[in-house]
Amino acid sequence: MISTADILQASILIVDDQAANVLLLERMLKGVGYACIASTNDPHEVCDLHRKNHYDLILLDLLMPGMDGFQVMEALKEIEPDGYLPVLVITAQPAHKLRALEAGAKDFISKPFDLLELQTRISNLLEVRLLYKNIENYNKVLEQRVDERTEELQRALSEIKVMQEKLETENIYFRHENKMKNQFENIIGKSDGLKYVLYRAEQVAPANTTVLILGETGTGKELIAAAIHNMSPRKERPLITVNCAALPGNLIESELFGREKGAFTGADTRRVGRFEVANGSTLCLDEIGELPLELQVKLLRVIQHHEFERLGSSQTTKVDVRIVATTNRDLEEEVRKGRFRQDLYYRLNVFPITVPPLRLRKDDIPLMVQVFVERYSRKLGKQITTIKKETMKALQDYPWPGNVRELESIIERAVILCPGSVLQLADKLEISSPAIKSTMRTLEDTERSQIIKILTETKWRIEGKDGAAAILGIHPSTLRARLHKLEIVRPETK
């Protein structure tokens, strides 16, 4: 609401060429209490004064020499952008009243004017004008607030978009991490060496590239192979694995490529090989270095042309199989010694991944120990909650020639024999001195000596009930393959 004090503080301009009229109006307005009163006898000054002071009301005489009130109102319209003319005209001509209103004046007063009527009309006009100005100010404030709020909302929207993008990125990251966790759930460790192996596996997984996984026995090469398959487009089908070292030489071909009924003695039924079973999936050839030379040619053909024939069949079978091979052997050395085909090695060695031995991943040992202890404690219904620092140090200092497989066996045995809640090792971990190490024979030397010893005892008879193969507990063809690989030749008899 507009108060009387607000009205009395309004600014008023009196425009009249007659000084007496101006004086009369000033006295009347000041007598009522108006404080901001200005006047001019020159109508040409009105626009400049109003432009400078923005009067709330202009008392304008219409009949003035040089520039009448109508011309003044036309000039004021150019100043007021909204077209509002705060003008009360003073005239003695009745005909001018309607014309003045049409020209934009808000009211009129007739000469000679009644002071009470003039005071009332001025008060009413100023109240309306101040209300109008308040509304304008409110609108400006509102517009400013709307602009500010709009700017705030735009900033908030921008922040929301940034947060949304960040959240989407984090979701992608966490989905990726969760996926990696699921893919690598059986692979324990956070060392840089292992991270690099997993990075390499993740890089090659989406392709159909042949992968060769290298590493010592017990490092978990088959787990890396499984992870590659589980991250590949072929993951909907099961990974097929063949352990080339576990099968007798005369059965490996049948196992890999299948056979027809009657293909050889004992082949009473037709059998589908692992390559056919793995069609559309991944075939893991575990310990590929143990594959006999005569089968390496056939494997090379499958890798190159994706086709083969079953044993006893002349029909060619086409397959779509991805090969992931593992070995603990130095295949380059095997190639130099003539035990492995060079062309097959090049076909397999497209994307090699080397799994580091556990002795180079000592930082992973505490985590592995914790996982193995929890795993076997749960299986055996035990509560083993503590591992002494001395015990962990001993585990980390040991070189682990059998790698993760040996560590797991040691922990399982310790959990079985542990009487309380503190893990106690059942085995004494001893590190052989360099002098002892230098005199130790390799596994191949030990194997060669044992085979020669048995062959000597059986007078180099391989097959039969009392043959060397039966005594060693292996198939005769396997023993022959080992003789070839270890370069064991029967001495000439004199």
Q: What is the pLDDT, as a whole number, of residue 416?
A: 92
Whether pLDDT at 213 is above 90: yes
Cβ(203)–Cβ(196) below 8 Å: no
DSSP state of 338: T
Cβ(41)–Cβ(16) below 8 Å: yes
Q: What is the pLDDT, as a whole number, of residue 433?
A: 46
Sign, CA torsion 334/336/340/343: positive
4-137 shares its CATH topology with 359-431: no
* Least-confidence region, from 159-173, 272-286, 468-482: 159-173
Q: How many other CB atoms sit within 10 Å of the CB of residue 198?
A: 19
**Residue-wise pLDDT tens digits, 435-489:** 434 444 566 777 787 788 788 878 888 888 778 887 776 778 878 888 888 888 8
Q: Which of 291, 233, 258 lies closest to 478 in space, CA to CA?
A: 291
Q: What is the mean pLDDT of residues 161-189?
A: 57
Longest distance between any two alpha carbons in the chain, whole Å: 162
If you average pLDDT over every residue of the chain, what do you get? 84
The CA distance from 106 to 59, in Å, is 11
Whether pLDDT at 378 is above 50: yes
Full-model pTM: 0.53
Considering the domain 359-431 in this protein, what is its CATH number? 1.10.8.60
If you search the block for the tokens 């890089």, which residue do you land on? 203
Q: Does CATH number 3.40.50.300 belong to domain 4-137?
A: no
Whether pLDDT at 172 is above 70: no
Q: What is the mean pLDDT of residues 84-93?
A: 81
- What architecture is domain 441-485? Orthogonal Bundle (1.10)
Write the CB contacts of 127 (distance below 8 Å, at least 6 apart in sequence).
2, 7
Q: What is the pLDDT, as a whole number, of residue 413?
A: 92
Whether pLDDT at 429 is above 90: no
Q: Which fold has domain 210-224+238-356?
A: Rossmann fold (3.40.50)
Whether pLDDT at 168 is above 70: no
Residue 235 burial by CB count (10 A; 0-12/13-18/19+): exposed, middle or buried?
middle
CB-side exposure of 159: number of CA atoms within 13 Å? Answer: 6
Write the CB contacts of 10 (distance below 8 Å, at least 6 apart in sequence).
34, 36, 56, 57, 126, 129, 130
Whether pLDDT at 86 is above 60: yes
Residue type, 169: T
Q: Give 173's pLDDT tier (boundaries 50, 70, 90).
A: very low
SS3 55: coil
Sign, CA torsion 447/449/452/456: negative
Q: What is the mean pLDDT of residues 6-10?
A: 87
Whether pLDDT at 362 is above 80: yes
Cβ(308)–Cβ(319) below 8 Å: yes
Q: What is the pLDDT, as a whole number, of residue 434?
A: 46
Q: Which of 391, 380, 401, 376 lies closest to 425 in space, CA to CA?
A: 391
Q: Where are the domains of the chain?
A: 4-137, 210-224+238-356, 359-431, 441-485
Whether pLDDT at 195 is above 70: yes
Q: Give 333's pLDDT tier (boundaries 50, 70, 90).
A: very high
Q: What is the mean pLDDT of residues 139-153?
A: 86
Q: What is the mean pLDDT of residues 34-63?
A: 89
Whether pLDDT at 209 is above 90: yes
The CA distance from 12 to 59, in Å, is 7
Whether pLDDT at 376 is above 50: yes
Q: What is the mean pLDDT of residues 80-98?
A: 78
